[in-house]
Amino acid sequence: MTLLGKFEKLREDRTALLATGADPFGMPIDELYSPTEARIAGRRVLLAGTNNYLGLTFAPECLEAAHAAIDHDGTGTTGSRMANGSFAGHRALEREIAEFYECRSAIVFTTGYQANLGMISGLTRPGDVLMIDADSHASIYDGCKLSGAEVLRFRHNDAADLRKRLTRLGERAASTLVIVEGIYSMLGDRAPLAEIVAATRECGSCLLVDEAHSLGVLGEYGRGLVEEADVLSQVDFILGTFSKSLGSVGGYCASNRPELDLIRYASRPYVFTASPSPSVIASTRAALRLLRNGKDLRVRLWEHARKMYGGLKRLGYRLGPEPSPVVAAILDSREQALTLWRGLFERGVYVNLVFPPAAPGDKSLVRCSVSAAHSAAQIETLIGAFAELRDPVLAAGRDVNSACAPSLRSS
């Protein structure tokens, strides 16, 4: 195969997708009207796939802070944190994140993806072990590759399997980093964190929890699953992103471990990446204050989440195991999922389409993320659109299963 020959299969898949008249992975948002409405491909749509859980992207406090930072500090840093890219705002945000988690210190990264790359590769190296949940995000897998450490997987959300595998490591468990997520981004299910903490501490390993989709969503003050499960002080490293509930871009890690400060010198993604723009840092700081005091936002978010989950469940859609702001309909085939996605868009609803391998197993997903900024009427509109498409989509699923059955039996 030539260097570029590997792209031929991708080209074929892309051409086949475009032949259906849909381009779900390349549709630009032409204009935003609010956190929940936009114009896409000339159509005004209801946004239900943005991860904007608290709806803070248009919060006046965040806009004002971003504008002021541009006037005061300019548009960018033009340097890495280790060179000339640590402004007063970066350090202030790190102090505020550490205070938010009641931790000794925190590090801010330019993206959430980079936070996982930087922390995992900074903490581990060849000879160490990474024990990760099998359904971990791509950034976790890529951080593991960058580290050079041995990578082992335990069954998704199975604390007993984790304990068994850590026990088998014997003395090597002391040089093992366990990685889980608070809320998993595809199906919206939570890690059994109290049990995972117990297994990790029993075996003498370290634990990193990625709260990307649970920051602002879980806990009285929105600290995530570590707060809801009351294990905040027992988790070694708490990692997250600014691009969901905080409505900007960036990542962070907070910890009581003094070694966290040394990660700045050991993490290549941190050392060699330009730091976040001042306006991003300023809006994030404002959003963090709103998040911390946003109990009403979380109450509204969960009202919408339970209503959406319950509505689709009653319609007969197969969903993740529990209500969550991530509500994903699980479909048996790409064709079935594409039919549902296209039908929703034609009805003025924009959601996420997820194909394998991003979706768990061999299934495809039509993934919604609800927001505190949605109105009750908008949630009803979402459920109504799914209701209109239920019969043809579910019937298509039955047809796919019937067509596949003979080949499955003969294999």
DSSP H or E run through 262: helix 260-266
How far is CA 364 from each of CA 49, 72, 274, 354, 380, rounded to the nearest angstrom? Answer: 15, 46, 36, 6, 24
Mean pLDDT, consecutive 10-residue stretches, the chain (411 aa), reads: 92 87 86 97 95 98 98 97 96 98 98 98 98 97 98 98 98 98 97 98 98 98 98 98 98 97 95 97 98 97 98 97 97 93 96 92 94 98 97 67 35 25
Q: Which two tokens stand for residue 242?
A: 């600014």
Judged on CB neighbours under 10 Å (0-12, 13-18, 19+), 195 is middle
Q: 58-74 pLDDT, tens per residue?
A: 999 999 999 999 999 99
pLDDT of residue 398: 57
pLDDT of residue 396: 66
Q: 124: helix, coil or strand? A: coil
pLDDT of residue 138: 96
Indicate the domain borders of the chain.
Answer: 11-47+295-397, 59-292
**Considering the domain 59-292 in this protein, what is its CATH number?**
3.40.640.10
**Considering the domain 11-47+295-397 in this protein, what is its CATH number?**
3.90.1150.10
